[in-house]
Structure 1
Amino acid sequence: MKLIASFIFCLSSLVLFSQDLALLKYNGGGDWYANPTALKNLIAYCNKNINTKINDKPQEVEVGSIDIFQYPFLHMTGHGNVFFSETDAENLRNYLLSGGFLHIDDNYGMEPYITKELKKVFPDKDLVELPASHPIFNTAFKFQNGLPKIHEHDGKRPQAFALFNEDRLMLLFTFESDLGDGWEDPEVHNDPADVREKALKMGANIVKYAFEN
């Protein structure tokens, strides 16, 4: 397994040149499939507004599969438990260190589980909160106050946390914002148009930043 992972690690820079997004499937019982219309709407928005050419049918990939190396951008969401096996953690670590990007959007209730599992992936790294001045909040659209609030849950402020490999932001965890709900079809949550627009613009910023850095 380690030999296979090392081989993938060496070759992954070749396959990460594409512009495609995938939804990350994980174990533990959490609903990785939450917000089923979100990614297709984000992709359509990005292709229209920031000149991406992303496949309009996002795929689903398992965290422990070599298939994740086909996608430069992985999106992960859910409400509940997350579990990474040792193989899952090693595969995800190799993916991220070789140039991949993971966006984790807490759909409410995911935070205590994912923060624990990320320690399996990077035992020596801690999530760092990004300031509102970070370029990810200004790369396509300007968010002077940082991560926007899309849905209220516990009344806490929205926060964006990151894991870095040296100076490269390789993982973004958005918390108390619920961007994915804002990307969903309008009738799912009946959000006002301006709220959905904020969510899609922030999503486009994340995609643009991930593809260009």
Structure 2
Amino acid sequence: MKRYLIVLSLICSCVTIAQDVAVLKYKGGGDWYSNPTALPNLVRYCNDNINTNINEAIATVEVGSMDIFQYPFLHMTGHGNVFFSEDDSKNLRNYLLSGGFLHIDDNYGMQPYITKELKKVFPNKELIEIPRTHPIFNIAYDFPNGLPKIHEHDGKAPQAFGIFQDGRLLLLFTFESDLGDGWEDQEVHNDPEEVRAKALKMGANIMKYVFVN
């Protein structure tokens, strides 16, 4: 009962602190800390262009911590291995079913590990490719062809997958796109401005879907 009341209190605080975001730290050896300028740049872009009021102080939270309930939006990235313990999986499942949102951006090489670990979080759910007609592709900026391609790796088309509950998208997995690289400071990858603009606009769609939709 005491644990339930703590969870309820933290969920309520998400309503009060409505626009805080955090980077998700996970076990397994993958570089959860990659793209350090990405999320701060995206937050500034959203505040400047789509009238959000997101806190520019980006937190880091561990997947098994109760602290995740303080952040309506979590961002997760990396190149390598991911491991969720049983407690991690339960905590993340409760967070997502309580109204939280997780964006997982594969920075190349993450896909086989994260898809396996997500089966621990939702054993009875599958990642479903999100149709191009979904609001996440047009809520602020129009992407009629779906997820934009930011960085080339294996010559595959970019794909956006999701996990849904009662029609709500509660987890977004972006694959073969590398949005986070496009959000980083320009000098990190030297991407053309039009490529960075696509990445930031798609990121703004994600943020608006979470905070305004």
Amino acid of the structure 2 residue aligned with 1:15: S
Amino acid of the structure 1 residue aligned with 2:21: L
Please give the root-mean-square deviation of Cα atoms over the aligned residues, in Å. 1.2
State how many pairs are aligned: 211
Q: CA deviation at 1:3?
A: 5.8
Deviates more, 1:181-190 or 1:51-60: 51-60
- Over residues 170-197 of structure 1, what are the superposed CA-to-partner deviations in whole Å (9 max), with x where a residue is unaligned? 0000000000000000000000000000
Distance 1:124 1:49 in 2: 38
Retained in 2: the 8 A contact 1:161–1:173? Answer: yes
In structure 1, the gaps of 5 or more residues are none
Amino acid of the structure 2 residue aligned with 1:194: E
Distance 2:9 2:50 in 1: 28
Corresponding residue for residue 56 of structure 2: 56
Q: CA deviation at 1:131?
A: 1.1
| Partner secondary structure for residue 16 of structure 1 | helix
1:173 correspondence with 2:173: yes
Q: CA deviation at 1:7?
A: 3.2
Amino acid of the structure 1 residue aligned with 2:14: L
Amino acid of the structure 2 residue aligned with 1:70: Q
Distance 1:170 1:81 in 2: 22
Summarize the alignment of residues 47-196 of structure 1 with structure 2, pairs less than 5 Å apart.
47-196=47-196
Q: CA deviation at 1:53?
A: 1.1
Corresponding residue for residue 9 of structure 2: 11
| Partner secondary structure for residue 160 of structure 1 | strand
Distance 1:51 1:194 in 2: 22
- Over residues 106-149 of structure 1, what are the superposed CA-to-partner deviations in whole Å (9 max), with x where a residue is unaligned? 00000000000000000000000011111100000000101000
List structure 1 runs of 4+ shifted beyond 2 angstroms. 6-13
| Partner secondary structure for residue 146 of structure 2 | coil
Distance 2:83 2:125 in 1: 18
Q: CA deviation at 1:166?
A: 1.2
- Over residues 58-101 of structure 1, what are the superposed CA-to-partner deviations in whole Å (9 max), with x where a residue is unaligned? 01000001110110000000000000011100110000000000
TM-score, length of structure 2 as denominator length: 0.96
Distance 1:12 1:61 in 2: 14
Distance 1:131 1:78 in 2: 25
Distance 2:132 2:207 in 1: 17
Corresponding residue for residue 32 of structure 2: 32
1:210 correspondence with 2:173: no
| Partner secondary structure for residue 139 of structure 2 | coil
Distance 2:13 2:200 in 1: 27
- Over residues 3-30 of structure 1, what are the superposed CA-to-partner deviations in whole Å (9 max), with x where a residue is unaligned? 62x3344334412221011000000000
In structure 2, the gaps of 5 or more residues are none
Distance 1:164 1:172 in 2: 9
Retained in 2: the 8 A contact 1:72–1:101? Answer: yes
Distance 1:20 1:196 in 2: 23
Retained in 2: the 8 A contact 1:12–1:95? Answer: no
Amino acid of the structure 1 residue aligned with 2:9: L
Distance 1:76 1:30 in 2: 11
TM-score, length of structure 1 as denominator length: 0.96
